[in-house]
Structure 1
């Protein structure tokens, strides 16, 4: 990644802070929209007369929307100025969540969640590129982590708040809240992000050609498989607390808050680890995840032990900024597509995790089996990481160029 362009180098510190804050608010809204259904799983199941594993399919539908939308919208948006693309994506996200709030049936909600997921990956990818372009080379990871901080804060505050809204009013209010945040972000980006006509844009075909590289596909595979374990546990945390830990529903937002706190710390930790260990940090995170997820089922018997386990599992969020920054270093000529696909990979993990966990639960293995399933995916991700390391040693990575 080169130094900031002349257009961005003239921005004041205050201007840069306002831009990154605006983008992070969008990340907060998207993170809240993505994770809200997890805390409201019992409420949605009761409203539509379905099982909780069926509600898990709604999570997968959103995640698959991200998987489909991230590359498609990134390819078609590659020729747009980033400001215009961000505004369009956030307005689209507001509409998708409003449709979710108004859904009258399980099938309609399934479609609405898929549609809402479409702009997710492209927004985060483009927002990360904008943030990185505002700062010097040695501050890229920090800038990207601030954008990802919105996602971490969604785990910490947005998801528990959405759960409380759903428990005390109705689950639909949670998605209405998300639609409101998305609408506010649209306005903030319009006001605070200047239009940089000097930014480099690529054609759709050139992005696709540059994207066809093992250096890009390996980290995407690591994110898609290795991160599935966190989503496997997180998606079924509410019914695990109710059925295994046997606590009152009021403890569900507390569990989500603790999980979010772990995600917040993990986001900071990921940047710190990557600055010191580069791509090797991903292997360390996966090894940690495999161990902690394997121990999670043992911790589900009491409230305090499961809360500690939630915090430790959520530290896996460290993989986000680490892989995102690594992709910036290896995705030559495919900035927009690679950055968006990073989030598509993580949401493929969000589809794989609940799906595998749901199958194991439906097979009668118990709610706590999600930890064992998650540990297996982390080990698989670690194997992919080792293959990627071997590839990198044979072809050293260079810095990403605009």
Structure 2
């Protein structure tokens, strides 16, 4: 039907309309979804973590309605990198009864200017923008609006031309996943195009994505968040950030992994728990970190990374991806003797040498959109289907 502004119904944006968020913060403008709780955020002053956890990867508005038109007022935070071309606006994905039915972006918003060379960041205010989807089928349906995975988003107002109610519980299992920027969705085309979102869709589960760009660092507060978050299935993808940040040595790594898993098990003693080792990253397979940016073509929007460590430093305990994979496999074998619900997946089964030859990592670290799709399909096939550790064997 045709609508006028007087036909709109405004519905408060409350927790029962949001999925995938760990905590909601009331701001001066509206509601800001977080993927780490305030207690965790207070224990780390790292600006990278603050940015990553507030980017709502996997967070979506979900409701039941007969509305044919939906408006969402939002205040995004746009990232601008000094010396680089403008970044595209974040993408919102509209799903109707589980199928992609539209995509749009919100103009305006705050601006976070990041100078990677200087290591500085500055936020400037900006206006609220409006997203609008029209032409939806005029029947009862489940509507999902997936928020941009890479753009901090404050939700200001939800308007529809018919009443809204929380979508019913479809009885799907909740999959809680933690990983690095690859799990966060770096370089995916849209929020439902990240590999965890794709895998969740194929596996028929509800995703809670704690992929944190630059911040999958075995932090105790992240382990406690996993411990305290309700879930039927849990996976942790460990490794690449520890290398590219050059954060710890082998002596610290093993006990840190054990401690992380111990904490998760405090809240989920029998939940299927999958430890995923790093996907292939040629620059760090045998060369330690840190990763160093190459700005030679940054003005054209192309940033690459190189390994700045020395392979000889492995002898003193510096970590490479090969070392981490071996250690993770050993730890899982050791623990699985007393924990039959603990499982291991070599990340190279998701993206390995043959994939790298066909779909090389554009910047040396992160997969492109096609690779996200391949990884999501691979994960679903290996983990949710057949004899996989998350396969449904209730039938």
Q: Could you say which structure has the greater relative contact order, defined with CA pairs below 8 angstroms and 6 or more residues apart?
A: 1
TM-score by length of 2: 0.29
- Structure number with larger C-alpha Rg: 2
Structure that is richer in helix per residue: 1
Structure that is richer in strand per residue: 2
